Amino acid sequence: MDDSKLTELRARMVRQQIEERGIRDEAVLRAMRIVPRHLFVPERYQHRAYDDGPLPILARQTISQPYVVALMIAQLMLSPDDRVLEVGTGSGYAAAVLSRMVAQVYTIERHEKLVTYAQARFERLGYDNIQVRHGDGTEGWPDHAPYDGIVVAAGGPSIPDPLRQQLAVGGRLVIPVGRKQRQQWLVRLTRLGLNQFEAERLSPVAFVPLIGAAGWSQEED
């Protein structure tokens, strides 16, 4: 498929799947028109990269539905000078979108093969304001805290305390939370002060489980 056709498919994806569902953040829309989502999915699924749904990637993980990526990022209400932490790099698509919107993106992934996969795509595209680390995302990345925004691309039983503490005052954290591993509510947490937080439930979602010291101990079969 040639570049002009792919550009047309991206524009249609943004218009029909994102704008028509009410997302108006122009920075999000612009970034999603730019980032080539087809490069972040396995080759056998590239013809479906701009469809309205998630797709399988390496390590039994998924790349989220484009609308869900847009919704979560829009809820962070970001500015160009912001620094963002992402938990759950996956194939790297959401981090790539974020990198077109903010000054710096830090992203953590527990599957080493996905770290390698995502890093190769960032380098290919010249997205040099993304740092990737292999590790437990529930513990955050304290070396670079505080963050203006934190987005978690996996569902936990609660909001990990290390992530709360690494959020800047005035910053926002978006995470799926639920008592069942694959049934969650999307929650936005805003830090109002040193020990003051406000949580809002946004919409029901279904994400892969957040595995780690401050998440689920293991994935159910």
Interaxial angle between packed helices 26-34 and 3-12, expressed in degrees from 0 to 180 and rounded to the nearest 10: 150
Question: Is residue 79 annotated as part of the catalytic site, yes or no?
Answer: no
Q: Which one from 64, 91, 99, 203 is the annotated catalytic residue?
A: 64
> Could you give the C-alpha distances from 104 to 48, 164, 194, in angstroms and in order?
29, 19, 23
Q: Which residues contact 190 (CB under 8 A, 6 or more apart)?
A: 170, 171, 172, 173, 197, 198, 199, 200
Identify any residues that bridge with 147 across adjacent strands, giving them in sequence order. Answer: 167
- Cα–Cα distance measured from residue 54 to residue 49, given in angstroms and rounded to the nearest whole number: 9
Q: Could you tell me if residue 188 is left (phi over 0), alpha (psi between -120 and 50 degrees) or otherwise beta?
A: beta
Say if strands 104-109 and 130-134 run parallel, antiparallel, or are unpaired. parallel
Listing DSSP states for 41-58 in one string gives S-GGGGGGTTSSS-EE-G
Catalytic residues: 64
